[in-house]
């Protein structure tokens, strides 16, 4: 079982012993997810052609998926959500997370109980496909010529570039760019110089935006 932490906005996060890092910002897990992934990512593409196709790197606690599902319901907007996760958390961890209470929802368990490796229609508006794979393997599959499905937005939510430098590279971002439609975006919480340079090398136009509390700037990278 992972260690449970309460962040400044009252929402929980987990601490990963494997990676020695929390899943979210200590300054507010919910606030961070809303700002980086919903406002800068999802909302940017939501006005365009439905369905909105989301690819998340790092399903983790399911918080980004939960917020996206709720937004899909609120807008009556179909969403196809694909999430990669190499080290899924257990249902005993899910049971203690307070996201449903904080968001007045009842969906977190369904997200975690959904079968892996197939499309699961969780409502009229939200279809989830969880993939039990590493990001590296997922990217290599595309490079090997497996059919690549395009998405509109990528939530890049790996552990930090100091913890997982092998994931924040121009090679990985180039492989991900191939899965984004032109005009689609990748958003992430790290605006480190090396991350921005790797994104530019992969052909993205990189924008810096105001971050959530505790983070001056975050990134939205647009595929030209
Ligand atoms: C910062 S946490 C993600 C937080 C998550 N989006 C949430 O809302 O809880 C990073 C996640 O990436 C997963 N992960 C780490 N390395 C990975 C890899 N190489 N491939 C796929 N998933 C990975 C971790 O298990 C963890 O769940």
Q: How far is the CA of 205 from the centre of ligand 1 (A)?
A: 24
Closest ligand 1 atom number to CA of residue 37: 6
Is 156 a pocket residue for ligand 1 (Cβ < 6 Å)?
no
The single-letter DSSP state of residue 149 is -
Ligand 1, from 56, 159, 186: best to mutate by most atoms within 8 Å of Cβ?
159
Tell me the domain boundaries of the chain: 28-223
pLDDT averaged over the chain? 97
Task: List the CATH code of the domain at 28-223.
Answer: 3.40.50.150
Ligand 1 atom having least distance to the Cα of 137: 20
Angle at 157 between CA 160 and CA 220, to 5 degrees: 100
Predicted structure pTM score = 0.98
* Neighbour tally for 15: CB within 10 Å: 13
> Pocket of ligand 1, candidates 7, 158, 163: which has the most ligand atoms within 8 Å of its Cβ, to mutate?
158
Query: Is 61 touching ligand 1 by the criterion CB < 6 Å?
Result: yes
Per-residue tokens: 41: 């990512």
Computed on alpha carbons and rounded to an integer, the radius of gyration of the chain in Å comes to: 16
Separation of CA 180 from chain center: 14
Residue having the nearest C-alpha atom to atom 13 of ligand 1: 58
Choose between 49 and 131: higher pLDDT.
131
Cα–Cα distances in Å, from 214 out to 8, 25, 41, 146, 175?
Answer: 10, 8, 19, 40, 30
pLDDT, tens digit (0-9, with 9 covering 90-100), for 160-214: 999 999 999 999 999 999 999 999 999 999 999 999 999 999 999 999 999 999 9
> Does 146 score more than 90 pLDDT?
no
Q: For ligand 1, is residue 189 a contact (CB within 6 Å)?
A: no
Output the CA torsion 134→153→22→12 (10° steps). Answer: -130
Report the candidate in 143, 146, 67, 137 with the shortest Cα–Cα distance to residue 108.
67
From the list 25, 155, 34, the residue with the least C-alpha distance to 103 is: 34
């Amino acid at each position: 079982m992972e260690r449970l932490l309460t962040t400044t906005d009252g929402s929980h996060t987990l601490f990963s012993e494997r990676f020695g890092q929390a899943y979210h910002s200590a300054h507010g897990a919910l606030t961070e997810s809303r700002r980086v992934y919903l406002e800068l990512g999802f909302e940017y593409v939501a006005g365009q052609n439905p369905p909105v196709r989301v690819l998340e790197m790092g399903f983790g606690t399911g918080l980004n998926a939960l917020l996206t599902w709720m937004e899909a319901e609120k807008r009556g907007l179909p969403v196809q959500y694909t999430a990669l996760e190499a080290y899924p958390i257990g249902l005993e961890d899910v049971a203690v997370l307070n996201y449903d209470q904080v968001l007045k929802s009842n969906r977190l368990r369904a997200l975690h109980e959904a079968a892996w490796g197939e499309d699961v229609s969780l409502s009229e508006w939200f279809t989830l496909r969880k993939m039990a794979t590493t990001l590296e393997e997922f990217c290599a599959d595309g490079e090997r010529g497996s059919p690549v499905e395009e998405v509109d937005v990528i939530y890049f939510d790996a552990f930090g570039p100091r913890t997982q430098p092998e994931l924040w590279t121009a090679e990985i971002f180039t492989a991900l760019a191939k899965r984004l439609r032109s005009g689609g975006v990748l958003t992430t919480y790290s605006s480190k110089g090396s991350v921005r340079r790797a994104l530019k090398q992969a052909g993205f136009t990189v924008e810096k935006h105001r971050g959530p509390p505790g983070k001056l700037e975050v990134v939205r990278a647009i595929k030209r």
